[in-house]
Each structure stands twice: as structure tokens, then as C-alpha cells.
């Protein structure tokens, strides 16, 4: 989830750093690139950090946002199976996609633990 935005920020930062070493008009553009890269990286990490997966007795929620909260939910009674999808990079870095019914939650840290919690909740439901 963070690879693309942080990669973009890194490219902008490198370009800004190179431009910053140039003369006056170029160094101002370099400083602007560095600022945009820093803001982009902070926003990406903030969005990722503000995403929560919430499991209650009867629902599974995904809540996004800080000022404007958005949520998606699925009732556990409607969930037949819980699946985990992990790429090789996801297994290496410890993240994956959890699919529970109609709800697909991307970039979940420790998806095996989430799968175990959901499986226990479904067997108890």
C-alpha cells in the first residue's frame, strides 16, 4: 500500500535534491520538489495508519479516515469463508489481502492472525 506513494516521494526527493544543487531558479524548484515529496510521504503514511479493521460479535468493519470517517462492513452470519491472498513480497513483509464474504481488505498486517480471529468468530457464531 505504501510502496507506490513512497516510491513517488523518493523519485521527487532525488530530483529535488539534484535540482537543489543547481543555481537560483533551479534550486527553488528543487526545494519545491523536496517539499512535495515530504508532504506526499506523510499523507500516504497517515492514510495507512488511520485504517482500522474492527471485529465485533456480529460484524467485520474496515474504518478509514481521520476527519471524515468511512466504513465498510459485512455481517459475520453472511460470511461463508475467509480467504487470505499474499504475494511473495507480501509474505516477506508480513501483509496480505483478507477476503471475508463481499468485503476485501487490502494490505492487512499479519493477515494470518486476522484470519484466525475471523475463523474463531465464525465458528462461535
The answer for residues whose C-beta is within 8 angstroms of residue 101's C-beta and 6 or more apart is 74, 75, 78, 79, 80
pLDDT tens readout for residues 10-28: 999 999 988 888 777 778 8
Give the per-residue pLDDT at 42: 92
Q: Does the pLDDT value for residue 125 go beyond 60?
A: no
Strand order in the sheet with 59-64: 52-55, 59-64, 70-75
Tell me how far apart the alpha carbons of residues 35 and 10 are, in angstroms, rounded to a whole number.
12
pLDDT tens readout for residues 32-70: 999 999 999 998 888 777 778 888 888 888 888 777 888
Architecture of domain 52-124: Roll (2.30)
Q: Where are the domains positioned within the chain?
A: 3-48, 52-124
Give the per-residue pLDDT at 36: 94
Amino acid at each position: 500500500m505504501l510502496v507506490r506513494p513512497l516510491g513517488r516521494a523518493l523519485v521527487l526527493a532525488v530530483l529535488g535534491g539534484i535540482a537543489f544543487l543547481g543555481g537560483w531558479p533551479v534550486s527553488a524548484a528543487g526545494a519545491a520538489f523536496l517539499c512535495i515529496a515530504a508532504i506526499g510521504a506523510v499523507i500516504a503514511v497517515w492514510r495507512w495508519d488511520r485504517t482500522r479493521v474492527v471485529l465485533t460479535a456480529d460484524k467485520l468493519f474496515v474504518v478509514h479516515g481521520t476527519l471524515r470517517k468511512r466504513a465498510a462492513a459485512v455481517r459475520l452470519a453472511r460470511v461463508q469463508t475467509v480467504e487470505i491472498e499474499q504475494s511473495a513480497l507480501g509474505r516477506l513483509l508480513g501483509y496480505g489481502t483478507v477476503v471475508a464474504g463481499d468485503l476485501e481488505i487490502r494490505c492487512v498486517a499479519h493477515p494470518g492472525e486476522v484470519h484466525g480471529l475471523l475463523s474463531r468468530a465464525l465458528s462461535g457464531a
